[in-house]
Amino acid sequence: MAKRSSRLSYGECLGVIKDFGVRVSRSLFGGIILSPNDPRGDLFHPETPAFSEVKASGLSGGPLVVLTQLERHQENLESHDHLYSFVLYKDRGRHRGKRRNLPIRMGKNEHTLRKFLAVNARRVYRIHLSIVLATVRAHPEWIKTYQMARGPKTYLRIPPKHLEKLAGTDLETWQSLSLNPSDYQFQECRDVVRFRNYRVSVLVYRITPIVATDDSFDPEVLDRQSATV
């Protein structure tokens, strides 16, 4: 990390934003922070077990999901579950008379950028991998390939409006993904967490599969079954 007195580079700004997303997600959903670039994800939840991939992004564009990461997470579903946490913040506004990308403009140092993110965080979506996979299949127009320093990389950019409609159980949106919202559990609340020395207030939306319970050995169920014989 750069010294507090020096202006952050673009890459260092992205690192601070990533750290913000991971720490906010851990405060909200628990988990153990994994080492950077761990192929399994950013957080591990041993009680499930499950892994979380965290994407922090602006409200103007929405989160970017790397397709190679997504494919790897899908391959590992047999051994553990996988969820995505999308931490969204206000990122566009006027700065010195022009409309700009504010996080990069505010990246004078780590302290300034962290404060900006804490103040401008708005929403956190916690969604299951199955929804992200269905979005890839239904919306190939949201997939773009960019030329990076280490070669081309392909991303899925999920519009914030799409996440809003999913959380709002918009039937047309769910049907477009060939998914049934009745198979998922929806929770919405406002939560306040700590990030460094700041309070972060966000709307939290959870969309997770409803887990079927095995009641075949439940005494009450067995009694009802025997009574009908």
Residue 192 in domain: yes
Residue 78 in domain: yes
pLDDT at 33: 98
What secondary structure does DSSP assign to 24-64, as a single string?
HHHHHH--EEPPTT-TT-SEEETTTTEEEEEEEEETTT--E
pLDDT one-digit tens code per residue, 197-209: 999 999 999 999 9
pLDDT one-digit tens code per residue, 152-190: 999 999 999 999 999 999 999 999 999 999 999 999 999
pLDDT one-digit tens code per residue, 54-70: 999 999 999 999 999 99
Residue 5 in domain: no
pLDDT at 3 over 80: no
Residue 27 in domain: yes
Range of the domain at 135: 10-228
How confident is residue 86, by pLDDT bands cut at 50, 70 and 90?
Answer: very high
Two tokens at 50? 């499950």
Two tokens at 33? 């922070």
Residue 132 in domain: yes
In terms of Cβ atoms closer than 10 Å to its own Cβ (0-12, 13-18, 19+), residue 94 is exposed
pLDDT at 49 over 70: yes
Residue 214 in domain: yes
Find tokens 């957080």 and name the residue.
43
Most distant CA atoms of the chain, gap in Å: 79
pLDDT one-digit tens code per residue, 105-128: 666 788 889 999 999 999 999 999
How confident is residue 7, by pLDDT bands cut at 50, 70 and 90?
Answer: confident
pLDDT-wise least confident of 23-32, 94-103, 108-117, 207-216: 94-103
pLDDT at 101: 64
Q: Quote the number of domains for the chain.
A: 1
15 SS3 class: helix
Residue 3 in domain: no
Residue 119 in domain: yes
For residue 21, what are the contacts with CB-CB under 8 A and spacing of at least 6? 54, 55, 56, 85, 87
pLDDT at 24: 98
**Interatomic CA distance for residues 226 and 6, integer angstroms:** 75
Shortest CA distance to 86 belongs to which of 137, 24, 10, 1? 24
Mean pLDDT, all residues of the chain: 87
